[in-house]
Structure 1
């Protein structure tokens, strides 16, 4: 209880600093998320602070600044990954043309010759529609473990298939 009250006082005292750091970094999206990052950084700083190494105010400021910069970097990386995956999977009628369909069908026809029926179900559901193992299991009326088994076997067989193709074997 004492720790909670002590941190609440610390939070009230340093709340303006949290907002200052957010403004300094130009944070305009996900403000609530970054406010939470600032609060957690303040709490961590209070736990790690060493009085012999300086003033708490400057330590807390640099700690918050560092944590928020890290969070900004992580958010940017996440947005870039999501953007790239959207570019791959977002299909509208103008961009998903006949060539893509022919390519997919040709590739799948070749690979499906070495896969079981269930493994083919996994490849289609995962690669074409982006379904998770849980979603596939629900659609097929089987356990998630069964779908993961299909996945493991399918990946193994496809690796073998493509390694043979790369080495010139048929």
Structure 2
């Protein structure tokens, strides 16, 4: 089944809004609408006619994506809530809390970054080191560290577009 995306979008726009309403999404409606549009496009690419009706496939694909995003948001909120509770119990300052959240976010990135990229991001974010200082510590050239930085930032931008942070 091949239709130009504009036609597909116009046809399934009410379905996307229906799913948003069904999942009781009130905040970030525009973000979830975009998730629905992307899911519709991906569903159109993955659809196989012999597997059933496209409408059913698209519905399950879109609602699945939105539920996945809701789950990610919930997990992040729970993690931040536990962290905030822990920090107030231990008498931590706001700077301590910010550092822990930053470290938590950076540690979560480790599955998406190479070991060299993680070395750069940790040295830069935790210790504020320059590429020259990192290069000296790691025994590599400064241009190699700048390459790690370039690749890391590029990858983070791509991941951010996909919804990592």
Q: Identify the TM-score tier after normalising by the shorter chain.
A: 0.5 to 0.7
Structure 1 residues 144 and 75: CA distance shift in structure 2, 3 A = farther
Residue 33 and residue 53 in structure 1: after superposition, are their counterparts in 2 closer, same or farther (change >3 A)?
same
Q: How many pairs align?
A: 116
Q: How much has 1:136 moved relative to structure 2?
A: 4.2
Change over 3 Å in CA distance of 1:88–1:46 after alignment to 2: same
TM-score, with structure 1 as normaliser: 0.54
How far apart, in 2, do the equivalents of 1:145 and 1:86 lie? Answer: 36
- The two structures have a TM-score, normalised by structure 2, of 0.56
> 2:21 pairs with 15, 18, 23, which one?
23
Change over 3 Å in CA distance of 1:78–1:146 after alignment to 2: farther
Structure-1 residue corresponding to 2:30: 32
Give the whole-Å Cα distance in 1 for the aligned partners of 2:99 and 2:25: 35
Larger Rg: 1
Summarize the Cα distance change of 1:49–1:135 in structure 2 as closer, same or farther, 3 Å threshold. Answer: closer
1:12 equivalent among 1, 10, 15: 10
Q: String of CA shifts for 1:75-124, please: whole Å, max 9, x gaps.
A: 10111111112223358xxx73xxx8xxxxxxxxxxxxxxxxxxxxxxxx
Partner residue, 2:68:
70
Contact in 2 for aligned 1:137/1:147 (Cα 8 Å)? no
Over the aligned positions, Cα root-mean-square deviation in angstroms equals: 3.7
Indicate if the aligned counterparts of 1:34 and 1:68 stay in contact, CA closer than 8 A: yes
In structure 1, what is the equivalent of residue 127 of structure 2? Answer: 137
- Any stretches of 5+ residues in structure 1 without a counterpart? 101-124, 149-170
DSSP 3-state at the match of 1:18: helix
